[in-house]
Amino acid sequence: MNISVLLIIPLVLCLWASLSQATPDAALVRQLAAEDSSDKVAAIRQLAQAADPDAARILKAMADDSLYLAGDKAVILEGDTAFDAASGAAIATPATPEAVTVNNRIRGELANALAALSLFDADRAVRLASAQKLQNKVGADMAPLLARALEKEADADIKALLVLAHAQASLGSADPAVRLAAVNALAETSSPTVKSMLQPLTDKTAESDEKVRFAAVAAIKAIDGRLAIAENLGRVFSGLSLGSILLLAALGLAITYGVMGVINMAHGELLMVGAYSAYGMQSLFRAYLPDYVDWYLPAAIPVAFFTAALVGVVMERTVIRWLYGRTLETLLATWGLSLVLIQGARVLFGAQNVEVANPGWMSGGIELLPNLVLPWNRIIIVGFALFVLLLVWVLMNKTRLGMFVRAVTQNRAMAGCVGVPTARIDTMAFALGAGIAGLGGVALSQISNVGPDMGQGYIVDSFMVVVVGGVGQLAGAVWAALGLGIFSKLLEGWAGAVIAKITILVCIIIFIQKRPQGIFALKGRFVE
């Protein structure tokens, strides 16, 4: 190779390096302090296109309210030190610097520009956070910068986000082919915001190209389809969480109603007792164990169970025991007990609802789709309900107490003849059913308001679960609770809460007419 060529190459490389590291234009930086917000926005966007550390330094100073105007020069003040904004060189601190006004519009532009500049950061986590932040917040002017970031990006996850951001920015392109490609790329998303971006392109006055309009219409239909699927999945999950609460309420009711035939109208107030137990444990942890307040909920579970069980034992021993076989009197008496419990809660805790906060480990959720987030509190409630169901199944099918409860449920007289202490079993079954309701109250406190009247809205639905599932049948209670919860939420989404409730009641009445024994019929000679 010629020696002159060897000498020229280093000079060219040095010249290229010096050009690539050139400081931003001083006039452009000075424009950041212009009176007109539109001039500031134009300067921010031009600096963002540079995609260099100096531009990021200047824009970050502006976002932090550290950018000032001294004469005709923009300066950055950091404590007692001043720097020339364009060159970054230290200068004498100006005597009377003027603060650069930054309104909400400018702050939004700065946030977008800084996020775009962070796309070139060496740290993957920074680039990923920036790409996520830019979703649905890009303009046509950012398309070249996003294209450069897209070319350099090797990470598949970040690249997928950049493709969507670049497509959104390209919607404002003057080239119909570019807009068409952007529409086709955005058609694969499931974002309501993207749908609103595509909506204007379906109008002839806003979009002159016919192919782009047709593509936008097709993209919106595709997005609508995915949004509808996500909404229905969300309703199903909400139904599962509602069904889990009904299951915890109905399990205890199924046991007491199956064993004693008692229509306990105060069962909803046992849910309330459990919820207030959670509130009480939260208050104790906040007062005496503030560092461990996130763990009040596990501590509240046994407290709620035994508190509600104790209330159930008192109810059974003092009132219900003397009314066995007298259905109407029992119904009226337990309704009176419910009023007593409600008033007792008002005296102890006040008539207003109390706050029961989710622990930190139950906050947030899992985002499956842009419009579908499964909250952790509801996920944990569903798992908790299944865990309680497993414990009840083991108790009813693998223990002596469970065998006695099943015997009394199927044939009380015969069970008494073979030595089963039916009176004691009644008390224990009522305590167990009340305790399970207390656990339901703990779960309910995480997704609903806690107040004296909170149990009133669940007693009717709980009885419907027991009747539809079959008296004393755990499997029937599970199917009925989950089915009622999911069916209710799906109907509410389509027809509204009132119509949904009426429809469900009509369906249950028809079902009981056709199959009065419920989904799973109780077996036994006494029943037959």
- 366-390: average pLDDT: 86
Residue appearing with tokens 């389809």: 225
Query: Do 170 and 273 sit in the same domain of this protein?
Result: no
Whether pLDDT at 491 is above 90: no
**12 versus 399: which is more confidently predicted?**
399
> Is 494 part of a structural domain of the chain?
yes
| Cα distance between residue 113 and residue 116, in whole Å | 5
Query: Do 345 and 460 sit in the same domain of this protein?
Result: yes
> Is 192 part of a structural domain of the chain?
no
Determine how many CB atoms are found less than 10 A away from the CB of residue 323. 17
pLDDT digits (tens, 9 = 90+) for 18-27: 434 456 677 8
Query: Do 266 and 134 sit in the same domain of this protein?
Result: no
Residue after which a domain boundary falls, among 151, 185, 219: 185
Query: How much is the pLDDT for 297?
Result: 92
Query: How much is the pLDDT for 411?
Result: 76
Q: How far is CA 391 from CA 203, 308, 402, in A?
A: 60, 17, 11
- 459-470: average pLDDT: 78
The answer to whether residues 252 and 434 touch, using CB atoms and an 8 Å cutoff, is: yes
* Least confident interval from 20-34, 267-281, 333-347, 454-468: 20-34
Q: Which of 422, 414, 409 is nearest to 522 (CA)?
A: 409
Query: How much is the pLDDT for 23?
Result: 60
Residues belonging to the chain: 528
Q: How far is CA 133 from CA 118, 258, 457, in A?
A: 10, 56, 41
Residue after which a domain boundary falls, among 168, 185, 202: 185
Query: How much is the pLDDT for 520?
Result: 66
Query: How much is the pLDDT for 11?
Result: 43
Query: How much is the pLDDT for 32?
Result: 84
Whether pLDDT at 5 is above 50: no
Query: How much is the pLDDT for 387?
Result: 92
**275 versus 405: which is more confidently predicted?**
275
Query: Do 175 and 107 sit in the same domain of this protein?
Result: yes
Query: Do 175 and 253 sit in the same domain of this protein?
Result: no
- 398-413: average pLDDT: 82
| Cα distance between residue 481 and residue 487, in whole Å | 10
Domain count, the chain: 2
Query: Do 156 and 243 sit in the same domain of this protein?
Result: no
Query: Do 386 and 446 sit in the same domain of this protein?
Result: yes
| Cα distance between residue 511 and residue 416, in whole Å | 34
Alpha helix segments (H runs only) across 65-138: 104-117, 124-133
Determine how many CB atoms are found less than 10 A away from the CB of residue 236. 14
- 93-119: average pLDDT: 82
Query: Do 345 and 426 sit in the same domain of this protein?
Result: yes
Percent of the chain with pLDDT over 90: 13
| Cα distance between residue 325 and residue 302, in whole Å | 32
Whether pLDDT at 7 is above 90: no
| Cα distance between residue 301 and residue 277, in whole Å | 8
Residue after which a domain boundary falls, among 185, 211, 245: 185
Please, what is the angle between helix 143-152 and helix 104-117, to 10°? 20
Q: Which of 514, 517, 513, 492 is nearest to 503 (CA)?
A: 492
Query: How much is the pLDDT for 523?
Result: 54
Query: Do 242 and 371 sit in the same domain of this protein?
Result: yes
**21 versus 292: which is more confidently predicted?**
292
**151 versus 311: which is more confidently predicted?**
311
Which token pair is 503?
A: 């429809």
Q: What is the pTM of this model?
A: 0.69
What is the residue-averaged pLDDT of the chain? Answer: 82
Please give the residue range of the domain that contains residue 417.
Answer: 234-514
Query: Do 174 and 248 sit in the same domain of this protein?
Result: no
Query: Looking at residue 392, which CATH number applies to its domain?
Result: 1.10.3470
pLDDT digits (tens, 9 = 90+) for 191-231: 787 888 888 888 887 788 888 889 989 989 988 888 888 88
- 107-132: average pLDDT: 82
Label residue 3 by pLDDT band (50, 70, 90). very low
Query: Do 437 and 498 sit in the same domain of this protein?
Result: yes
> Is 428 part of a structural domain of the chain?
yes
Query: How much is the pLDDT for 9?
Result: 45
Query: How much is the pLDDT for 329?
Result: 84
Query: How much is the pLDDT for 397?
Result: 86
> Is 132 part of a structural domain of the chain?
yes
> Is 1 part of a structural domain of the chain?
no
Query: How much is the pLDDT for 424?
Result: 86
Query: Do 290 and 147 sit in the same domain of this protein?
Result: no
pLDDT digits (tens, 9 = 90+) for 425-449: 888 888 998 999 999 999 989 888 8
> Is 229 part of a structural domain of the chain?
no
> Is 8 part of a structural domain of the chain?
no
Label residue 304 by pLDDT band (50, 70, 90). very high
> Is 41 part of a structural domain of the chain?
yes
pLDDT digits (tens, 9 = 90+) for 230-263: 888 888 888 888 888 888 888 888 777 766 677 7
